[in-house]
Homo-oligomer: A and B are copies of this chain.
């Protein structure tokens, strides 16, 4: 059974997720190398803006984000003997699907900033953003069909279609459940995990499964990569939710404000409610009932999260999922691609943004 390496463990066992700058630089190089062909392909596809809709889609897509999901699809395909060129369209497709969900999410959450600039709806208006994200969902499926032109057998494309469409429905169910959690103040960790399984893990799982299906993987390999993607997605989202309280000062301010405004009961909050005393619970209630100025709310919630040990406990859960993700890889052939997927899992919990 493979485990997270020492650097990751040390990063996890302190309260801050920061890693030594040398490790960060190496990680950055690693990512750059991995995503370069995907980024080039994405940029090539959006060189020209033929009309306003394309211009809005382009704005939402570029400059590219981390391209984590496309990289997962590609590495999953290569890990089972697939060919990069054949699966590249589907990899780009996952980014379309992900971006579509971000564009609609920003409308729902009223988040006016995304990746350091105005979010798509804030720049182009809600109406345009609704339609552009719809178009990106259709682009996702057009990309899937393209794989046949690149030589992927039609049977595999249809199986990937099944997986990708079901994962899109799961994603929407996760978003819908997130709204229910907020409305009904559901403070149950199991419900939270079910919610992020849809909202985030579904697309990670689908990326890994589609990659391995399109790449010609066996049922066992597709299943293993599905489990890998699920655990990775859960780890990724838990860490994302932690950034509201443990990121750099800019992230903290922005994301915490959004989380509190949207009354998002993320894992550390749920754990603090569970393990906090009456005073902790009162303070959390005050924060999430609104009315406090952002700075005051942030300071109060941060104190409770540290004093209850909720931050550490949440980070430990992320770590356990990352380890489970790595464990799922053991049945795959030992290749450089498997190693990269292994490394992805460490990066998911070690990253600082």
Contact = CB atoms under 8 A, between A and B. Distances in A.
Contact of A164 (B141, B153, B164, B169): B141
A87 to B, nearest CB: 15
Interface in A256-308: none
Given A108-B127, A158-B157, A173 B53 contact: yes
Given A141-B141, A162-B145, A172 B51 contact: no
B137 A166 contact: no
Nearest to A53: B176
Contacts of A18: none
Interface string A156-187: 01100110111011011101110110000000
Interface string A119-158: 0000000111011111101111110110010000111011
A117 interface: no
Number of chain copies forming the complex? 2
B168 A135 contact: yes
A177 B168 CA distance: 27
A141 to B, nearest CB: 4
Interface on chain A toward B: helix, strand, loop, or mixed SS?
Answer: helix
A98 interface: no
A84 interface: no
Interface residues of A, number: 47
Q: Which of A108, A132, A176 has the most chain B CB atoms closer than 10 A to its own CB? A: A176
A148 B156 CA distance: 12
A140 B51 CA distance: 26
Interface of A: 51-53, 56, 100-101, 104, 107-108, 126-128, 130-135, 137-142, 144-145, 148, 153-155, 157-158, 161-162, 164-166, 168-169, 171-173, 175-177, 179-180
